[in-house]
């Protein structure tokens, strides 16, 4: 059940839509402060809320969500590369053939997730209000070729290390960060590993050895077939 901005509510579905008042209130309060800095939102009722922010309102969103909405607990900050990987799972095991068929399928189109998105790279962050017991995931578009967003370190000091990690894994620059440098990878490492066009070379040089050990699903008496546990 999504209550996004685009009006597409079915008449029959409208009767079954639950209204999550707590999270609707969160979105409304954020919209009050940021105006049209809030681009889109998506609520899964009694579960979670996703809000997409306009790129130039990213830092303002951080301060609003911390001071006005009271979400003082910092969760994490990272990025998603929405372009589908050109190599999928690097192999044709029996499970892949059973699911996708034998012929090589064309690469799917790039689609984004909840609360939309227009560019290939998206930075997302999670903060929580531990007094009212809700958490929100904020997303922002970072760009297609040279992704960059503002830094959150002036509002949440803990974002420092998360932004360093996102920088080295995706190549997303954070404007205003004190010192972006490697945190996990050795200093001579070339490339941004978590981008979808960064290949796992071991999977090219050595194919998957195949099914070694098979267990049937609990509760069934079937013989383990070659489609299990690929």
CB of 24 to other proteins, least distance (A): 19
Q: Which of 68, 157, 197, 214 binds other proteins (CB under 8 A)?
A: 157
Q: How many CB atoms are located within 10 Å of the residue 123 CB?
A: 28
Residues 7-26 within binding reach of other proteins (CB under 8 A): none
Q: Which of residues 86-125 bind other proteins (CB under 8 A)?
A: 89-90, 95-96, 98-99, 108, 111, 113-114, 124
Residue 23 and residue 49: Cα distance in Å, rounded?
A: 7
**Longest C-alpha distance within the chain, in Å?**
60
Taking the C-alpha atoms of residue 118 and residue 112, their distance in angstroms, rounded to an integer, is 8
Interface positions, 43-82, toward other proteins (CB under 8 A): 47-48, 50, 72-76, 78, 80-81
Closest by alpha carbon to 113, among 18, 198, 48? 48
Q: Are 197 and 170 in contact (CB under 8 A)?
A: no
DSSP class of residue 110 equals P
Are 228 and 213 a contacting pair, CB within 8 Å? no
Number of chain positions touching other proteins (CB under 8 A) = 56
| Contact residue for other proteins among 17, 28, 200, 214 (CB under 8 A) | 200
Compute the least distance from the CB of residue 214 to other proteins, in Å.
Answer: 12
Pair 66, 126: CB distance under 8 Å: no
How many whole angstroms separate alpha carbon 146 and alpha carbon 67? Answer: 31
Measured from the CB atom, is 58 or 74 closer to other proteins?
Answer: 74
Q: Which stretch binds other proteins (CB under 8 A): 6-14, 27-35, 143-151, 216-224?
A: 216-224
CA–CA separation, 120 and 101 (whole Å): 28
Residue 216: both structure tokens together: 């049937």
- With contacts defined by CB under 8 A, name the span among 20-28, 30-38, 52-60, 180-188 that binds other proteins: 180-188
The answer to whether 156 contacts other proteins (rule: CB under 8 A) is yes
CA gap 124, 116 in Å, rounded:
12
Closer residue to other proteins, CB minimum distance, 35 or 195: 195
Contact footprint for other proteins (CB under 8 A): 47-48, 50, 72-76, 78, 80-81, 84-85, 89-90, 95-96, 98-99, 108, 111, 113-114, 124, 126, 130, 133, 135, 137, 156-158, 160-162, 169, 182-186, 193-194, 198, 200-203, 206, 217-219, 227-230
């Amino acid at each position: 059940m999504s209550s996004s901005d685009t009006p597409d509510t079915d008449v029959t579905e409208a009767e079954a839509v639950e209204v999550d008042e707590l999270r609707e209130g969160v979105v409304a309060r954020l919209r009050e402060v940021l105006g049209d800095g809030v681009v889109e939102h998506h609520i899964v009722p009694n579960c979670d809320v996703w809000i997409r922010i306009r790129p130039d309102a990213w830092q303002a969103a951080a301060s609003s969500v911390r001071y006005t909405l009271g979400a003082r607990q910092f969760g994490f900050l990272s990025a998603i590369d929405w372009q589908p990987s050109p190599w999928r799972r690097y192999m044709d095991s029996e499970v892949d053939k059973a699911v996708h068929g034998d012929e090589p399928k064309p690469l799917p189109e790039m689609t984004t997730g909840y609360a939309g998105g227009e560019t290939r790279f998206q930075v997302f962050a999670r903060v929580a209000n531990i007094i009212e017991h809700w958490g929100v995931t904020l997303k922002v578009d970072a760009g297609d070729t040279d992704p960059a967003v503002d830094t959150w370190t002036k509002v949440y000091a803990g974002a420092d290390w998360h932004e360093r990690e996102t920088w080295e894994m995706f190549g997303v620059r954070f404007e205003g960060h004190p010192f972006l440098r490697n945190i996990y990878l050795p200093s001579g490492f070339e490339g941004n590993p978590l981008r979808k066009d960064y290949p796992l070379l071991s999977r090219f040089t050595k194919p998957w050895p195949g099914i070694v050990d098979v267990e049937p699903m609990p509760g069934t008496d079937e013989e383990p077939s070659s489609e299990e546990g690929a």
